[in-house]
Structure 1
Amino acid sequence: MSNYTATGRLHEMYDTQQVSEKFSKREFVIEIKEGQYPEHIKFQLVQDKTALIDGFRIGDEITVNFNLRGRGFVKNNDTLYFTNLEAWKIEGNKTGQRAGGAAPQKAAPIKSDDDNDLPF
């Protein structure tokens, strides 16, 4: 299949799963804000690629390069189909490696006149 890319904020990361003796996978979700509602897209890393997400934190902006994979599986005479978005490259600023060498700082909350206890 052709290579695809998606850019968004890292929303969720899961631990690596050892599915069988010879197969391991790790899943993660990015949030893409397009249109009125955000989309949450789940990707899969397999085998030696499971560590690609290491060093990223929830909220980091990342670009995922992935392949579209599909397989059929016969169970009880019914064919079930699975589609996976198999990531093979992740780009972005890893935690501790941000531009300028410093980790981002939280902005102070903006206060309005309604936030004080003054009687006038």
Structure 2
Amino acid sequence: MEVEGKIKVIGETKEYGKNGFRKREVVITTEEQYPQFLNIEFVQDKTQLVDNFSVGENVKIGINLRGREWVSPQGETKYFNSIQGWRIERLDQSQNQDASIPPADQFEPVDDLNEEDPEDDLPF
């Protein structure tokens, strides 16, 4: 799966436990009618993927949805979900525009056409 949005927050890499589990969180804001704030986790060696990105950049992130079950000491079962990132890339601003129409300054000016031009052999 992939999600697109603008980077709102880039967290610091944090280390947990004796085994050195590393996690870094990135929050993106989606661009839709009702924008969503998605907290995406990058773990272990994927934490460094975020190093060259900045707040405000438009990105596309490859994600996996993760779910966990936890049973409390009282026997109550709870479920947790997370979004885990495994790839991140910049979205070029020009991708959001229609690439099939060149900018106006790339068209040649058209001379005024004379309707009675003898070289005009079009039937309409």
Give the TM-score of the pair, scaled to structure 2. Answer: 0.68
Look up the match of 2:61.
64
Q: TM-score, normalised by structure 1?
A: 0.70
Distance in 2, Cα, partners of 1:63 & 1:21: 33
Please state how far the C-alpha of 1:21 moved relative to its aligned partner: 2.5
CA distance in 1, matches of 2:78, 2:84: 19
User: 2:85 pairs with 84, 87, 93, which one?
Assistant: 87
1:26 maps to which of 24, 27, 48: 24
Paired residues, number: 91
Relative to its length, the structure with more strand (as a share) is 1
How many percent identity over aligned positions?
Answer: 36
* In 2: Cα distance, 1:59 partner to 1:38 partner: 15
Match of 1:46 among 24, 31, 43: 43
Deviation at 1:17, TM superposition (A): 1.3
- Runs of 4+ aligned structure 1 residues displaced above 6 Å come to none
Deviations 1:22-68 (A, max 9, x none): 21111110000211x32111100011101111111100011000101
Larger Rg over CA atoms: 2
Q: Cα deviations across residues 81-110 of structure 1 (Å, max 9, x unaligned)?
A: 1111110000116xxxxxxxxxxxxxxxxx
Query: Which of 46-55 and 72-81 deviates more?
Result: 72-81
Report the residue type matching 2:55 in the other structure.
Answer: I
